[in-house]
Amino acid sequence: MATPEDAGAPEREADLRRRLDEAEDTLRAIREGEVDALVVRGAEQDEVFALGGQDSYRAFMEAMDLGAAALDGQGRLIYANAALCMLFGRSAKDLQKGGLLAALGESAAVTVRQLLQDADHARRSGQIALPSVGGYRHVEVTVAPLALGFGHGHALTFSDVTERIEAAAAHESDRIGRAIMASSNEAVLVCNQEGRITHANAGVRHFHEGSAVGRLFDEAFALGFALSSGLMAGGDLVGVALAGSAVRGVEAILTIDGRARDVLLSAAPLRQSGDTIFGCIVTIADVTERRATEKRQALLMGELTHRVKNTLTLVMAIAHRTIAGSKDMGEFRTAFGRRLEALAATHTLLASDVWNGLTLEELINAELAPFVTVGSERVQLDGVGVRVVPDAAVALGLIFHELVTNAVKYGALSGESGRISISAAQQGERIEIVWKEDGGPPVVPPEKTGFGQTLIARGLGQHGEQATKVEFRPEGLICRMYIAADQTAAV
């Protein structure tokens, strides 16, 4: 983010360039004899230099802020002013002894050497980087041809443009930062050292009606932290970031117009050059839907575990009862296999509807499908659009399987003329389901009760008046089943 100092970067850059041009024009005018006197403004008083005086030109050069040097035709240093010595951290004698190019360092020396080669007839400029404490100083070097009394050489000026370069980098960083903020799907805010919001992207509108800029973070967002016992507020996160530490993924509840939203908060300090903290950046992500999904997944996993255990118990019970009522293994395999198929069919239907329950019609059609075409005149359905909860659906699926199996073997579906009617109707706090067969062979009550009959009678677990009742009428079987109203589900 931009700092207050960055705002004046373009003006400072323009001022530096203007001063550099003025200094170079002044040097040229002095060399060519166009100036009689100069006024150099100091911090406390101005100095006037008469160019005809004994030390006039040298005194002027020493008073310059720009580093200045003169090289002879062989590249030897014949003059370096005080500003240049300060820039390099060496005396003029050391620079003359070791050579200016050697003091620059390998990379910078290559650049300056090329400028010297190109500046025999015209001025040339370039930038170099000089090692400094904590980093590098960026310096703009200008080389111009210089006529000497004993031949030709070059005049060089060195202008420290580090502030200009850093200001430009800060400006570019600010531009990139703003672009990132604008494109982020999350809410992104910047707070100053007081915790007051100075920047906010479009994502903030999801959490705050109107502009949040100018408000304290705590005032703008009503946050609650479940595990803090009321001891922590949103402003505390901002305070941690302003103190220099980053916090990530803190869960909180944000109240918006009386509605609670689950959010994740992160905050980090913003630093200027020199590691000075001038504010912090805060992000807010809405995870309400994610949390709801996670809770639903956890619920489904718990429900799945429960159902798997119940199903395994049911399969074991079916196997035990089936083998007890079978004459041999062949009969057991057939009966047990068909009952498992009925159980699997019900589970498949439930899974296709995310275990939200099934209608009686879906259960009935699934069991009748292998024997009777859906919509056949032999089967009449009435009121079977009632949806039942998964547990009741599993039990009814097995009961309908036994009723269909019995009808195919001995009842209405064992011949071509038999018919079945199935109806469901509300009776107070319960639903009555009636399975009625007609037109089949005369019905004879069984001599003994098999597992199929036990399953029909006890499958729904009802007792007394709610218990399943089976009538073996000669003209056809009737089965009356009852399910409590709380076993039904919304259609």
Cα–Cα–Cα angle for 161, 143, 47, rounded to 5 degrees: 65
In this predicted structure, what is the pLDDT of residue 28? Answer: 63
Q: Are 408 and 418 in contact (CB under 8 A)?
A: no
DSSP one-letter code for 415? S
Q: In the beta sheet, which residues pair with residue 40? A: 47
From CA 319, how far away is CA 275, in angstroms rounded?
75
Name which of 29-43, 101-115, 172-186, 435-449 the model is least confident about.
29-43
Question: Domain-by-domain residue ranges, the chain?
Answer: 8-50, 54-165, 184-291, 344-487
Q: Quick one: which of 103, 102, 79 has its CA closest to 90?
A: 103
Please state the rounded mean pLDDT for residues 143-163.
87
Q: Which CATH number describes the domain made up of 344-487?
A: 3.30.565.10
* CB-count exposure of residue 292 (10 Å: 0-12, 13-18, 19+): exposed
In this predicted structure, what is the pLDDT of residue 228? Answer: 59
Q: In the beta sheet, which residues pair with residue 63? A: none
From CA 442, how far away is CA 476, in angstroms rounded?
7
Here the tokens at position 345 are 């069919």
Name which of 44-48, 120-124, 383-387, 455-459 the model is least confident about.
44-48
Name which of 42-56, 87-101, 245-259, 401-415 the model is least confident about.
42-56
From CA 227, how far away is CA 252, in angstroms rounded?
9
Number of neighbours of residue 402 by Cβ within 10 angstroms: 23
Class of domain 54-165: alpha beta
Here the tokens at position 333 are 């395999």
Give the SS3 label for residue 420: strand
Here the tokens at position 2 are 């931009």
- At 291, the pLDDT band (50, 70, 90 cuts) reads confident
Here the tokens at position 208 are 């705050």
Strands 379-382 and 419-427: parallel
Across the chain, mean pLDDT equals 82
Read off the pTM: 0.44
Task: Please determine whether the domains at 54-165 and 184-291 fall in the same fold group of CATH.
Answer: yes
For the stretch 316-323, contacts whose Cβ atoms lie closer than 8 Å and that sit 24 or more positions apart, written own/partner, are 318/343, 318/398, 318/451, 318/455, 321/451, 321/454, 321/455, 322/451
| Residues contacting residue 86 through CB under 8 Å, at least 6 positions apart | 67
Give φ, ψ of 129 to 5 degrees.
-120, 125
- At 419, the pLDDT band (50, 70, 90 cuts) reads very high
| Residues contacting residue 333 through CB under 8 Å, at least 6 positions apart | none
Q: Which CATH number describes the domain made up of 184-291?
A: 3.30.450.20
What does the pLDDT look like over 301-331, one tens digit per residue?
887 787 777 778 778 877 887 887 788 898 8
H-type alpha helices, 184-225? 217-220
User: Quick one: residue 428, left, alpha or beta (phi over 0 = left, psi -120 to 50 = alpha)?
Assistant: left
Q: Are 367 and 404 in contact (CB under 8 A)?
A: yes
Here the tokens at position 201 are 């992207």
Please state the rounded mean pLDDT for residues 263-278.
85
Please state the rounded mean pLDDT for residues 152-173.
85
Q: Percent of the chain having pLDDT more than 90?
A: 21
In this predicted structure, what is the pLDDT of residue 386? Answer: 92
From CA 140, how far away is CA 168, in angstroms rounded?
15
What does the pLDDT look like over 54-86, one tens digit per residue?
455 667 677 778 899 989 888 889 889 999 999
From CA 398, how far away is CA 412, in angstroms rounded?
19
| Tokens 């550099």, residue located | 20
Alpha-carbon Rg for the chain, nearest whole angstrom, is: 46
Q: Percent of the chain having pLDDT more than 70?
A: 85
Q: Quick one: which of 185, 181, 244, 191 has its CA closest to 219?
A: 191
> What's the one-letter identity of residue 1?
M
Give φ, ψ of 416 to 5 degrees.
-95, -15
Give the SS3 label for residue 388: strand
